[in-house]
Amino acid sequence: MSDLYGDGTEEFGGTVFRDVTLLALAGFITIVLLLLPWLNPIGEKESTTVTPPGSVIVELFWPDDDASDVDLWVKAPGDGAVGFSNAGGLFFNLLRDDRGTYRDATPINYEISYTRGISPGEHIVNVHLYEHATGSGPVPVTVAVSVVQPGQRARDHLFKKELQLDRTGQEITVARFSINRLGKLMAKRIHSLQKSLIDPTKRMSYSRQRDGTR
């Protein structure tokens, strides 16, 4: 394009416009570079993400052909006892309440409780013969305790115990054991000193009929 004024005015104006545009663009890029560390919420979120908690798992088994009703009771540190009449606490939850063969379409007699997270300290595991199917004779039970850490595909088995119940209403402390924050069993901190987990004000109600009103 020719110079309209013949004195270079148009060329000078174009140069100024390009310079101003480049300076503005450079300034914008500089501001973006300065703000980049503050405009990366993903990195901040990743650095502050809390590791998912692990779980303590307690399982109770008794013979599949035994119609007896056996209950699992557990207690974590700083929490109340968890069993069929109180299925959830701060840490433990009773996932399955099995009444033997009564109203049970499955072939297995099995109860399980698990925690949300690992609470260091003493845990208590009890079994209670809610109702003896025949009224006499031993009811053999097996209790297994394990820990699952975040990201694991397998359990760390802490221990397994076998014992027997003999009469309706009998409650036995299977184990009182202590674990650390990593879910590791603490040496010399496991025993079976009896401690009831059933509310004594409700114990008499355990003589109720099997009418489905548990």
125 band by pLDDT with thresholds 50, 70 and 90 = very high
**Comparing C-alpha atoms, which of 202, 187, 171, 182 is closest to residue 75?**
171
What average pLDDT does the segment 186-193 reach? 92
Instruction: Give the single-character DSSP code of 36.
Output: G
Torsion of CA 207, 210, 213, 214, to 10 degrees: 60
Three-state DSSP class for residue 208: coil
> For residue 209, what are its two tokens?
């009929």
For residue 48, pLDDT beyond 60 = no
Question: Mean of the per-residue pLDDT values for the chain?
Answer: 80
Q: Domain 55-205 belongs to what architecture? A: Sandwich (2.60)
Rounded to whole angstroms, the Cα distance separating 138 from 141 reads 9
What average pLDDT does the segment 64-75 reach? 92
pLDDT (0 to 100) of residue 105: 65
> For residue 186, what are its two tokens?
């603490």
> For residue 180, what are its two tokens?
């650390």
Rounded to whole angstroms, the Cα distance separating 60 from 110 reads 6
Give the full edge-to-edge strand order of the sheet including 185-191: 69-75, 121-131, 171-179, 185-191
Judge if pTM exceeds 0.75: no
